[in-house]
Amino acid sequence: MSAIYILWLRELKRYTRSRAQIVASLGQPMLYLLVLGFGLNPVFKRAGYGSYFQFIAPGVIGMSVLFSSVFSGLGLLWDRQFGFLKETLVAPVPRIQIMIGRTLGGCTVAVIQGLLVLAICLVSGFRPTTFLSIPVAIGFMVLIALLFAAVGVIFGSSLQDMQGFQLIMNFLVLPIYFLSGAMFPLTNQGKVLAFVTALDPLSYGIDGMRSVLLASSAFRPAFGPTLDLAVLAIVGSILLMVGAYRFSKIEI
Amino acid sequence: MIQVRNLVKTFGTFSAVNDVSFDVAEGEIFAFLGPNGAGKTTTIKMLTTLLKPSSGQIQLDGLDPQTHQNQARQRFGIVFQDPSLDGDLTAWENMEIHGVLYHVPHKQRHQRSEELLKLFELWDRRKEQVKKFSGGMKRRLEIARGFLHTPKILFLDEPTLGLDPQSRNQLWTHVKRVNESERVTVFLTTHYMDEADRVAHRIGVIDHGKLVATGTPKEIKEQTGTETLEDAFLKLTGSSIRDESANSADQMRQFAKMWSGGRR
């Protein structure tokens, strides 16, 4: 247990020490939120979907949780490069504990990041239907973070060097974000897009957050919170198991 | 303390280590020498549970590292060829993580970290991030960390690579001191023959995966009829240059160096 704790703590310390990076990582969500959110607001309203700013806020929170959890998993590449991975892998500790510690750490960091963006949303005018829904939304953030930290671990264990990083960014992380309905409603879409977006786990995370945060507003959920919860929990568990397996196979 | 019998490791048709046998006694400093690609690192990897031997037996303090992986790991410390510290954490935090991972009880961990950091002259800088350390300081910290869980054996894989003579000298002084005070068995590899001559009690020379000589530095010089260990080494292993192909980890290290502008 103490091994899990110390590795969790390490992820947190590394996060809080990179202040410049924290500020930088808030830039992109703010652009989406403030520029797109206010820019597309009039068009969206005229189409009868209500406020676009309200609509996109949970999507932007989901985006920052996605990015920071995948990157935390890919931090494995970084640790492999600078050697710290070896130090943990030759320790007399079962690998699964090392994987759990790292993943929980990455997940915690991703949720903190999500909370920072939530705070920015609230400051710039986002209003959930009731503030009591925020803890439930945080629950969804945790599920998103766990699921995508596992994705990060799977790719981080399989790749040998940083060259693969761009590939993952462009062909995995960005498509997951764009196809998740973070920026557009998933209802009333064409068959192809509806099918592809239903395959994207992030769609369920963002749909879940919207369902609770924007209940009884103009927003109509695509899947509903129960299905969202079930999909995230099941897919997340499977990916975590795959991640643990891949991690156990790392050779130094 | 270390017993190796008929150790073999083959990668496809290539035998990296071919029928190697040797013993290292408790409290001994044993230097494992050989040109690049001779099989030194492969042997260390097998001794430290990182690679599975193709055949042969290994015993570390009476334990087979394959079947008793975690018990064996608890008994040795290792300093790798390339750094394995977390640069974003402080020296003290790096020690802490190591202590926790090796199940050193809280009180003992703090006491020993303090002792070792003082011994390796890092105590004043314990609250600084490791990325701000010089190469020699990082090496010292890694070795101090390797001693933290009071291992019975310490493996040092080319620990002085890239250090200036002062740091090298100081590093070996510390290693010798802990070897004497705690009776730690030290198994090291190096390319600096003068170091091996000065530090090691016994030496093994490996080439093309085979052990070509073992003995005290004096014995090896006598066997080959040479004045210095360097001449003995060249006589034993020939003077042709070995080219090791860079593996992906090396390439990545290169990439990292360019990328971080030599910051680490």
Q: Which stretches of chain A score pLDDT less than 50? A: none
Helices (H), A91-190: 95-123, 133-158, 163-168, 174-178
Q: How many domains does chain A have?
A: 1
Q: Looking at residue A245, what is its pLDDT?
A: 95
Angstroms from B135 CA to nearest CA on chain A: 14
Contact B255 A161 (CB under 8 A): yes
Contact A6 B100 (CB under 8 A): yes
> Do the Cβ atoms of B103 and B74 come closer than 8 Å?
yes
- Domain containing A96: what range? 2-248
Q: CA-CA distance, B135 to B119, in Å (whole number)?
A: 18
Contact A13 B82 (CB under 8 A): no
Q: CA-CA distance, A25 to A110, in Å (whole number)?
A: 11
Greater model confidence, B262 or A164:
A164
> What is the total residue count of chain A?
252
Q: Looking at residue A3, what is its pLDDT?
A: 93
Which CA distances in Å does B244 have to A120, B28, B35, B111? 54, 30, 10, 43
pLDDT tens per residue across span B66-92: 888 889 999 999 998 888 999 999 999
Closest CA to A206 of A184, A191, A189: A184
Looking at residue B90, the DSSP 8-state letter turns out to be B
Contacts of A80 in chain B (CB under 8 A): 249, 252
State mean pLDDT over B183-188.
Answer: 93
Closest CA to A81 of A190, A178, A161, A14: A161
Contact A82 B264 (CB under 8 A): yes
Angstroms from A174 CA to nearest CA on chain B: 24
| Contact status of B246 with chain A (Cβ, < 8 Å) | no
Contacts of A91 in chain B (CB under 8 A): 73, 98, 101-102
Q: Is the pTM of this model over 0.90?
A: no
Q: CA-CA distance, A145 to A208, in Å (whole number)?
A: 14
B41 falls in which pLDDT band (50, 70, 90)? confident
Which CA distances in Å does A214 have to A21, A56, A129, B193, B206? 31, 11, 6, 72, 70
Q: Looking at residue A187, what is its pLDDT?
A: 85
> Do the Cβ atoms of B229 and B193 come closer than 8 Å?
yes
Q: Looking at residue A243, what is its pLDDT?
A: 95
Q: Looking at residue B245, what is its pLDDT?
A: 56
Nearest CA in chain A to B52: A251
Contact A14 B89 (CB under 8 A): yes
Q: What mean pLDDT, rounded, does chain B reach?
A: 87
Contact A93 B83 (CB under 8 A): no
Q: What is the CATH number assigned to the segment(s) B2-84+150-259?
A: 3.40.50.300
Q: CA-CA distance, A3 to B98, in Å (whole number)?
A: 9
For chain B, the C-alpha Rg in angstroms (whole number) is: 18
Q: What is the ipTM of this complex?
A: 0.87
Identity at B105, one-letter amino acid code: P
pLDDT tens per residue across span B218-258: 999 998 888 888 888 888 888 777 665 555 555 555 555 55
Nearest to B248 among A18, A88, A161 (CB): A161
> Do the Cβ atoms of B80 and B21 come closer than 8 Å?
no
Greater model confidence, A160 or B212:
B212
Contact B256 A252 (CB under 8 A): no
Unique residue bearing structure tokens 């919860």: A229
Looking only at Cα atoms, what is the longest distance across chain B? Answer: 53
Nearest CA in chain B to A162: B252
| Contact status of A19 with chain B (Cβ, < 8 Å) | no
Nearest CA in chain A to B97: A6
Which of B101, B254, B264 to probe the A interface (max A CBs under 10 A)?
A: B101
Residue B262 has pLDDT above 50, yes or no: no
Residues 83-102 of A with CB under 8 A from B: 83-88, 90-94
**So where are chain B's domains?**
2-84+150-259
Identity at A137, one-letter amino acid code: A
